Amino acid sequence: MNDPLQDRQVRRRLAVLRHAEEVTGNVAQTCRYYGISRQCYYTWLRRLERVPWIMGRGRGARS
């Protein structure tokens, strides 16, 4: 089974990434709101891009 703490961290990271993409459209503003650095945000984003099905994206090019 997964560790509940790890699950919570994953859900928070996904929430941050979705917030930047769907709510504000602004990475810097989202990072200030959540209290993380932009470097941290882009590290999470790179990791997420390795598993595109998480955010409902296929392996193809973006439209």
| Domain count across the chain | 1
pLDDT at 51: 78
Q: What is the pTM of this model?
A: 0.72
Q: Are 44 and 31 in contact (CB under 8 A)?
A: no
- Asked, for residue 34, whether it belongs to a domain, the answer is yes
61, with CB counted inside 10 A (0-12, 13-18, 19+), is exposed
- Asked, for residue 59, whether it belongs to a domain, the answer is no
- Asked, for residue 43, whether it belongs to a domain, the answer is yes
Give pLDDT tens digits for 4-59.
888 899 899 999 999 999 999 999 999 999 999 999 999 999 988 887 666 565 55
pLDDT at 35: 97
- Asked, for residue 8, whether it belongs to a domain, the answer is yes
- What is the distance between the alpha carbons of residues 34 and 39, in angstroms, rounded to a whole number? 13
pLDDT at 3: 83
Residue span of the structural domain in which 25 resides: 4-52
